[in-house]
């Protein structure tokens, strides 16, 4: 296997205002234009509508386990429940999905001690009801609805996202292939303007696999429709739903600090550092079962970068820069992470894969880290994307299964970048010299803030190596204690997606 070594150097161009230079931070599900990139696809004006299947999410031997609509007997009760996903067996899947859309849309950030948490993203979500006279979409009629939505998308017609409850896994099987319903919790297909004249979504389809939450006990004869150990709790299934909704809004997968996982991509050493948009649903202990159910700072900053509020524009700063090889070629595909040294580094971190809003194998090593809180100290590190997520078409942009990136052992975790000319590994955004003021005035603004930054120091060598890889998929898979051996998961991801559209609609993944 041929290898080519490069000494990795880094340049940090500036601290600057979020969006002062039209910066996007966080992974984009699709890039626009698709051949050259540079911008993310998103929903025009942040306005998102969705409709739902009227069928059940899951059943057990003919008995409904998780209904779709809320049964009449529980409607009054469920109006008073803070989190309907925790009681999906009573409140139903539709109410849970609505709650999760709103969780994204109302996610909050705070940027100073004097500020209260404020909505970070300018998103407006509307539920338009059940489809076609309360129709249950199943394996028999699914293709009709898929063709209908695809046809509208091909005309550039904006349609609501269609949420489908796959009660028996047959729709997942039809899309992903035989037996893949045993491994895939959900699929998401954001639809784009096929003329490619705009960078806006025109619709989407989400499918949730009820086989994982049908109440069938492990290792019994009635669990043969899926792997016996794969029954998940309400909160874990809702975590996968929250993840798929993030895709539907335009977000790619993301990876936090490698130390959050530990020795492998399925590790859970520091659960607080695992974003909701991490490619897999991990097997946390009971204390941290909801780790991916709670939106991480990285998730919220990514969404706010796509749909910024005035608060996000005016109150935060941005770190931007470019990674380069020693030969001065831009270095695409390195995970750049910044975290606050004033807080828990796993909870308060943001990530961006260099060159990720450009096509694979583009000579572009640019990164943008938004949501930087003024007056806090930040450390910047760069790490390798886990190798499995480079090789899957369901991994992390810009990887497409063919692009060769640094191996997980090629970049030393924790290597810091010298920022802004300081002889240290930390940096501070200090708009209008406010950082010497305690407390920071509520009227302050970071808008327009720019601090010149000197070239950073070089770091240990990284190795590029050739490898054989497959195509990526469009789904969240199970992992850790839920996962069968990797040899089974990888084929599942390799074919997961909407096969009828793959050649025409997708050059990238989710």
Count of alpha carbons within 13 Å of 179, Cβ hemisphere only? 7
Torsions phi, psi of 482, nearest 5?
Answer: -85, -15
> Could you state, in chain order, the average pLDDT of each consecutive group of 10 residues for the chain (510 residues)?
36 34 66 92 95 93 90 95 95 97 95 80 96 90 91 84 94 88 88 83 94 72 51 91 96 94 92 93 86 95 95 86 73 89 84 94 89 85 89 87 78 40 55 74 62 32 27 42 27 28 34
Q: Which pLDDT does position 409 carry in this prediction?
A: 67
Q: Which pLDDT does position 463 carry in this prediction?
A: 28
Q: Which pLDDT does position 195 carry in this prediction?
A: 74
Q: Kindly list the domain boundaries of the chain, sorted by start residue.
A: 3-37+300-465, 44-107+120-249+473-505
What pTM was computed for the model? 0.84
C-beta neighbour count of 1 within 10 angstroms: 6
Count of alpha carbons within 13 Å of 445, Cβ hemisphere only? 7
- Is residue 168 within 8 Å of residue 225, measured between CB atoms? yes
Nearest one of 288, 285, 286, 287 to 296, comparing CA atoms? 288
Q: Which pLDDT does position 66 carry in this prediction?
A: 94
Peptide bond into 383 cis (omega under 30): no
DSSP string, 421-458: T-SSSEEE--GGGGGGSSSPPTT---TT--EE-PBPPP
At which residue do the structure tokens 């150097």 appear? 9
d(CA 317, CA 298): 15
Nearest one of 52, 45, 44 to 68, comparing CA atoms? 52
Q: Which pLDDT does position 218 carry in this prediction?
A: 54
Going by C-beta distance under 8 Å and a sequence separation of 6 or more, which residues neighbour residue 104?
121, 123, 125, 242, 245, 246, 249, 295, 303
């Amino acid at each position: 296997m041929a290898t080519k070594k490069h000494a990795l150097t880094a340049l940090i161009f500036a601290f600057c205002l979020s969006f002062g230079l039209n910066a996007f931070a966080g992974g984009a599900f699709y890039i626009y234009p698709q051949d050259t990139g540079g911008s993310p696809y998103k929903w025009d004006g942040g306005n998102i509508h969705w409709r739902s299947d009227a069928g059940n999410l899951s059943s057990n031997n003919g008995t409904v386990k998780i209904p779709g609509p809320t049964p009449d007997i529980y409607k009054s009760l469920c109006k008073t429940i803070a989190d309907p996903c925790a009681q999906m067996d009573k409140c139903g899947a539709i109410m849970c999905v609505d709650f999760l859309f709103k969780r994204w849309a109302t996610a909050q950030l705070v940027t100073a001690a004097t500020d209260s948490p404020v909505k970070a993203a300018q998103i407006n979500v509307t539920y338009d009801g059940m489809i076609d006279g309360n129709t249950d979409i199943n394996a028999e009629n699914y293709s009709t609805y898929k063709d209908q939505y695809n046809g509208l998308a091909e005309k550039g017609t904006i349609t609501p996202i269609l949420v489908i409850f796959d009660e028996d896994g047959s729709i997942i099987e039809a899309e992903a292939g035989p037996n893949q319903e045993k491994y895939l919790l959900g699929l998401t297909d954001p639809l784009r303007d096929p003329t490619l004249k705009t960078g806006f979504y025109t619709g989407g389809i989400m499918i949730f696999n009820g086989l994982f939450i049908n109440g069938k006990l492990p290792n019994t004869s009635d669990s043969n429709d899926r792997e016996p150990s794969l029954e998940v709790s309400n909160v874990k299934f809702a975590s996968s739903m929250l993840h798929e909704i993030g895709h539907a809004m335009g977000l790619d997968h993301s990876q936090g600090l490698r130390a959050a996982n530990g020795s492998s991509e399925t590790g859970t050493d520091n659960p607080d550092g695992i974003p909701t948009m991490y490619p897999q649903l991990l097997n946390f202990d009971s204390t941290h079962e909801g780790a991916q159910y709670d939106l991480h700072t990285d998730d919220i900053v990514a969404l706010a970068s796509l749909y910024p509020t005035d608060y996000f524009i005016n109150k935060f700063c941005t770190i931007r820069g470019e990674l380069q090889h020693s030969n001065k070629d831009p270095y695409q595909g390195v995970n750049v992470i910044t975290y606050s040294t004033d807080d828990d580094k796993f909870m308060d971190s943001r990530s961006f894969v260099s060159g990720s809003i450009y096509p694979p194998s583009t000579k572009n090593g640019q990164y943008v880290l938004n949501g930087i809180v003024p007056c806090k100290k930040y450390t910047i590190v760069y790490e390798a994307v886990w190798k499995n997520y480079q090789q899957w078409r369901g991994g992390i942009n810009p990887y497409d299964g063919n692009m060769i990136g640094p191996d997980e052992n090629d970049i030393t975790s924790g290597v810091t970048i010298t920022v802004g000319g300081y002889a240290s590994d930390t940096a501070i955004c200090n708009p209008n010299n406010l950082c010497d003021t305690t407390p920071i005035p509520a009227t302050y603004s970071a808008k327009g803030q720019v601090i010149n930054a000197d070239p950073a120091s070089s770091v240990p060598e990284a190795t590029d190596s050739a490898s054989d890889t497959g195509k990526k998929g469009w789904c969240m898979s199970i992992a850790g204690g839920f996962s069968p051996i990797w040899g089974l998961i990888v084929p599942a991801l390799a074919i997961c997606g909407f096969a009828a559209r793959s050649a025409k609609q997708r050059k990238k993944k989710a």
